[in-house]
Amino acid sequence: MKMSNLSWCTVSLTAVAVTSVLLAYLLGGSHHPTARDPDIDLTTVELLAKYGYPAESHTVVTEDGYILTLHRIPYGKKSPEKANRPPVLIQHGIISSSVEWLIMGPEKSLGYILADAGYDVWFGNCRGNYFSSKHVTLNPSSAEYWNFSWHEMGIYDLPIITDYILKRTGQEKLSYIGHSMGASMFFVMASEMPEYNKKFNFMIALTPAVYIEYCRSPLPKIFAIAGNQLEWLLNLFGIYQILPRTGLITFVGRHICSDGAVTQPICINILDLNVAYNQKETNASALPLILSHAPAGASIKTFQHFGQNINSGEFRKYDYGEEKNLLVYSSRTPPQYDMSKITVPVAIMYGQNDIVVDPRDVVKTKEVLPNVVAYLKVKDEEFTHIDFAWAINAKSLVYEDILKLLRKY
């Protein structure tokens, strides 16, 4: 497969950036990083407890044996404890976890804000991430365990999570907020299992990773350029997972990306290369805290699936190659998800400076969904993909609109 000059440039820049961090740490002078953030070592439940919020951890087992952890804030500090609080499920994006919606603290993170506004808040953790890394029979180090993408998360993970929440709360319906891949998962479920549409009042898609033809982020682009050969090669060397939560990443965050470190600008450049860096909305001092909880891991096949959709320009099932596609789908190409079956009212929010899910792709998602009730562009022109979770002013730019939408629908 032949790469264009731009493709080679993207791959090279990524390699150079990673190498630069290591060299800068080894060769750079001494520095005096700021005091260690005490939240770095805390789990989701511990974070909630620290800030005085009730915290629960729940376990569900999918039909194909994956053991998933759900986190819950049954009520907030600023709203009274009462029965029948409307449940809301928040689903993170790729390589992330439930901590994403709590990491910036009670006044800035969506989880706390929703709980204080009177909602029963649930957080999903998709298969393979730090909190959902077990299986009934499969070894997490095996190829069989990692043989999934966001398709399986949509047809196995979300349905069991939905049913569990409704049973546990005694409610007939819930609302859903999905960020990036979290939106992809929902649309897979609602199109492949349309009976689940009736279980939701409303769905909010934050920068939905559905159509991603114009994606400019290097990692998914590399998978798009290399095709299935990259997945095959990595699997050949026993690599099935990408960007797991490790001590090395935490070390990089604490020492290389901390305030006062001469290498912090390199961390910012790498962040900018991969997801775009919004200087006005990103608290650089929080990088050690963020990197202590993210990334949280994903399967190689999940990234490969996104790479395939970049190439096809469509929202469709996993492409196994013509021969296996005929066996699996009875067609040479994988079928597209039938978005016309999604009847849940949907609100879409997107950022203008998103290099992962380009605004041009978001328009296409809006056009194929039959029941889009709100289509909102974040007012900050520099708003990026990760700003939906970590932006300094996410509350005023995004979360206040989310509250208005939830109250309306």
Q: Please check whether residue 401 is in contact with residue 247, taking contact to mean a CB–CB distance below 8 angstroms.
A: no
CA 93 – CA 210 distance, rounded (Å): 12
Residue 388's alpha-carbon distances to 78, 109, 221, 291, in angstroms, are 23, 10, 22, 17
Cis geometry, peptide bond prior to residue 244 (ω within 30 degrees of 0): no
The vertex-400 CA angle with 398 and 406, nearest 5°, equals: 100
Cis geometry, peptide bond prior to residue 295 (ω within 30 degrees of 0): yes
Q: Please check whether residue 216 is in contact with residue 244, taking contact to mean a CB–CB distance below 8 angstroms.
A: no
CA 150 – CA 357 distance, rounded (Å): 16
Q: Please check whether residue 76 is in contact with residue 110, taking contact to mean a CB–CB distance below 8 angstroms.
A: no
How close are the terminal C-alpha atoms of the chain, in Å? Answer: 49
Nearest to 16 by CA among 27, 6, 4, 8: 8
The vertex-364 CA angle with 360 and 366, nearest 5°, equals: 115
Bridge partner residues of 220 (DSSP): none
Cβ neighbours of 62 (radius 10 Å): 21
Largest CA distance in the chain: 61
- The token pair at 181 is 């891949």
- The token pair at 252 is 């990089």
Residues with Cβ within 8 Å of residue 101, at least 6 apart in sequence: 90, 92, 109, 110, 111, 123, 389
Give the catalytic positions in this structure.
180, 385
